[in-house]
Structure 1
Amino acid sequence: MKQLPNILTLANLFCGALALVFILQSPGFIASYNGEDYMITVPPPICQAVVLIGIAAVFDFFDGLAARLLKVQSPMGRELDSLADVVTFGVAPGMILYQLLRSAYMMQPGAMEVSLVNVAVALLLPCFAAYRLARFNLDERQTQHFIGVPTPAVGLLVASFPLILLYNSAGLAPWLQRVWVLYALIALLCFLMVCNLPFFSLKLKRLSWKENRLRYLFLLLTLLAIPLLKWAAVPFAFALYVALSLGKHFFSPGPE
């Protein structure tokens, strides 16, 4: 039983590595616009990769929970968790962004002349994710809250993009096929991961409203958004998480 948390962490890593295999085997997105409808063909391997990232997130949640319940938290488990996360929530989402950028450039004139450097910008995401995870392992301040947005939150956000494209949730699909939007997202996500701003943790130590009002508000609004926004509820939840965290930091500082 002592190895259960590490087994769950390795399951996270396995899913992340397998997601990479699917992404690398996938053809590009195909987008078309006939003046009335915006259609995007999302290759099935990308969707399979998204499912694997989602499964990996479940393993990532339960490995920490198992370690706490079994009281077997260790420096090795901490390092192993970060190594798994950088693959699953850093490299795999970075490759999804790479495919999205490639697709966005293919819709522009002179697409065949686009340099590899233009799309390789997407790989900054795993670089910043690795930096954020390394800092997390050394930063003793991050016990009650996070400094910078957690890497899994960024990874799940990016993993939602192919599903938003597939179903055009909330009409966001055309925006995810614009080069400047993707560049802006990459820059913003990289900054949020390594910034020195505090972001609240979703872990509940007690169930009281007073101690967890921010967490309960976040969960309530996210649940209400799901039937309205479908897959666009994921970027909504991410934006809400950032807004609530920054709002608390700048307007209501104090323990949470």
Structure 2
Amino acid sequence: MDLKRHVPNIITLLNLLSGCIAVIFAVQGSLIMAAVFVALGIFFDFFDGLAARVLDVKSEVGLQLDSLADAVTSGVVPGIVMYQMLNIALPNTSSGISTEWVVDDTFMEWNFNNLALIGLLISLASAYRLAKFNVDDRQTDSFIGLPTPANALLILSLPLILSFQPGEIVSSLILNEWFLIGLTLLSCYLLNAEVKLFALKFSDWSFKNNKIRYIFIMLCLILVILLQFAAIPVIIISYVLLSLIFGDQKKEKEVEY
């Protein structure tokens, strides 16, 4: 039995396990721990593909399993987190979670604002984006639409900023229901937009062929040092803008030739 061909799938399953644990924390309202396990899942998501390339054991099963794991870690979790954020931001809601098992006539009552369910659109848009990715042969060395891990980091950055970098202006913005609804809709759009975004895959280490990647990595380091968790949404926005700028430059050169 060739064990090495199972290594990438085992790493992918660790991604899925991290996502399942993150779901539990998110449902309980422990959004910081949910963010920790999503970050761990994204770490495994990066290395399962790397392991598959190094060991030369790519498979169709691995591709499908990777998307299923991402659907949980980078799809279900950010959707629940946005639901929790909206449940806090919207008026006349109760974010308390009862752990008692009660059988009575009130089992059909909803103790949250129905509008909070808008947050789950992120989970639906993420699943649709992953399904398209599996059948789209254009996304071998780049992405069409925002990758689900990047979108998950964008959403999970909100409770991190609130917890570790609190401020009156920042808190009032992040906990504004219209800001959260707008971000949800923007997130769903970016996930499935026909926008070509570069991938952090190095075919070689030359600056000429990887200029945009080196610039982006340096920008990320500077932003993290200066802004800490608040750097995450800035990094995601910069990622999209750099892709658009360098993509337009590439198109202009192709037209000239």
Q: With the length of structure 1 as denominator, give the TM-score of the two structures.
A: 0.87
Aligned residue runs from structure 1 range 187-198, under 5 A: 187-198=185-196
User: For the Cα contact (< 8 Å) 2:87–2:113, is it kept in 1?
Assistant: no
Aligned partner of 1:15: which letter? S
Give SS of 2:208's match: helix
Equivalent position to 2:235, from 234, 237, 245: 237
Query: Could you tell me which residue of structure 1 aligns to residue 18 of structure 2?
Result: 15
User: For the Cα contact (< 8 Å) 1:169–1:231, is it kept in 2?
Assistant: no
CA–CA distance in 2 between the matches of 1:197 and 1:243?
Answer: 11
CA–CA distance in 2 between the matches of 1:58 and 1:95?
Answer: 20
Equivalent position to 1:50, from 35, 48, 53: 35
Deviations along 1:197-256, whole A, 9 cap, x unmatched? 10000111111111111111111111011121010111111010011011223344269x
Of the two, which has the highest radius of gyration? Answer: 2
Give SS of 1:73's match: coil
Q: Does 1:123 align with 2:126?
A: no
Q: Does 1:153 align with 2:150?
A: yes
Q: 1:169 to 1:244 in 2, by over 3 A?
A: farther
Residue identity (%):
41
Give SS of 1:146's match: strand
Structure 1 residue 111 displacement after superposition: 4.8
89-98 vs 111-120, which moves further: 111-120
Structure 1 residue 167 displacement after superposition: 2.0
User: For the Cα contact (< 8 Å) 1:145–1:198, is it kept in 2?
Assistant: yes
CA–CA distance in 1 between the matches of 2:142 and 2:33?
Answer: 32
Query: Could you tell me which residue of structure 2 aligns to residue 42 of structure 1?
Result: none
Q: Does 1:167 align with 2:170?
A: no
Aligned residue runs from structure 1 range 84-123, under 5 A: 84-106=69-91, 110-111=92-93, 116-123=113-120
Query: Could you tell me which residue of structure 1 aligns to residue 198 of structure 2?
Result: 200
Q: Does 1:72 align with 2:57?
A: yes
Structure 1 residue 114 displacement after superposition: 9.5
Deviations along 1:21-80, whole A, 9 cap, x unmatched? 111122xxxxxxxxxxxxxxxxxx221111111111110000000001011101110000
CA–CA distance in 1 between the matches of 2:232 and 2:200?
Answer: 16
Give SS of 1:209's match: coil
After TM superposition, which residue ranges in structure 1, 4 or more long, deviate above 6 angstroms? Answer: 112-115
Q: 1:47 to 1:111 in 2, by over 3 A?
A: closer
Query: Could you tell me which residue of structure 1 aligns to residue 66 of structure 2?
Result: 81
CA–CA distance in 1 between the matches of 2:239 and 2:26?
Answer: 28
Give SS of 2:82's match: helix
CA–CA distance in 2 between the matches of 1:241 and 1:174?
Answer: 26
Q: With the length of structure 2 as denominator, give the TM-score of the two structures.
A: 0.86
Structure 1 residue 157 displacement after superposition: 1.4
Query: Could you tell me which residue of structure 2 aligns to residue 215 of structure 1?
Result: 213
User: For the Cα contact (< 8 Å) 2:35–2:156, is it kept in 1?
Assistant: yes
CA–CA distance in 2 between the matches of 1:73 and 1:59?
Answer: 16
Give SS of 1:158's match: helix
Aligned partner of 1:117: which letter? N
Q: Does 1:59 align with 2:44?
A: yes
Gaps of 5+ in 2: 95-109
